Amino acid sequence: MNEKTRGRPRQYDREQVLTSVLSLFSEKGYSATSLDDISEAMNMNRPSIYNAFGDKESIYLHAMDSFRKQMRRAVGKYLDSEYDLETALMNTYLSALKVYFSSRPAQGCFIFCTAPAEVINQPVIKEKISDTLVEVDEFFQVLFANAQEQGDYPKNMDASNAGKLAQGALHTIAIRARAGESQASLKRFIEFTVPILCNSGSE
């Protein structure tokens, strides 16, 4: 038998099983989720899980990375400078809203609605959250910096702090989605918030 074809092929779809465990961790949190819960959600036995993803902490980190990739796919295209600031912000928030309501009940943001509760005892998770905060800050900062270059946002405003403020609105949307506020209500909030962010500091 050829070495390249020897052994069993993988019997799972990596993204699919990570999506399943994402939902589980979102619902129960890290600490309350058992390995039996994970095995059932992934439809894999423990040895297969260990071989593919590692221990429980490693699985959680893989789930966080999967969610980050999902969000990048949803909003990354709006970094293109062809979008004006208002359009880019509006589409970013609406795309995130779809992700937050992709399950029923709505889970909000996996990283910012559930993971912060784990940081005291899980320094690796804390580091991952910090990395995500920086990444999202930078995403929004680029939107504001592009708008400044195009003359759509005041040059005397700090694009870095504007990015943090924009991320704050994103957190609000995520938390309210998880708390049960309707998608329609949050869409109205987005439509109210975006013009304010775009006009910050203008006379």
Domain ranges for the chain:
11-198
- Rounded mean pLDDT of 57-82? 86
**pLDDT over 90 (residue 189):** yes
**What confidence score (pLDDT) does residue 110 get?**
86
**What confidence score (pLDDT) does residue 86 get?**
95
Give the tens place of pLDDT for each residue, 142-155. Answer: 999 999 999 999 99
DSSP string, the chain: --GGG-SPPP-S-HHHHHHHHHHHHHHHTTTT--HHHHHHHHT--HHHHHHHH-SHHHHHHHHHHHHHHHHHHHHGGGGSTTS-HHHHHHHHHHHHHHHHTSSSS----HHHHTGGGGTTT-HHHHHHHHHHHHHHHHHHHHHHHHHHHTTSS-TTS-HHHHHHHHHHHHHHHHHHHHHT--HHHHHHHHHHHHHHHHTTT--
- Rounded mean pLDDT of 153-163? 95
**pLDDT over 50 (residue 2):** no
Query: What does pTM read for this prediction?
Result: 0.83
Q: What is the mean pLDDT of the chain?
A: 87
Architecture per CATH, domain 11-198, reads as Orthogonal Bundle (1.10)
Identify the residue with better confidence: 169 or 27.
Answer: 169
Give the tens place of pLDDT for each residue, 16-53. Answer: 888 889 889 988 888 889 999 999 999 999 999 999 99
- Rounded mean pLDDT of 57-84? 87
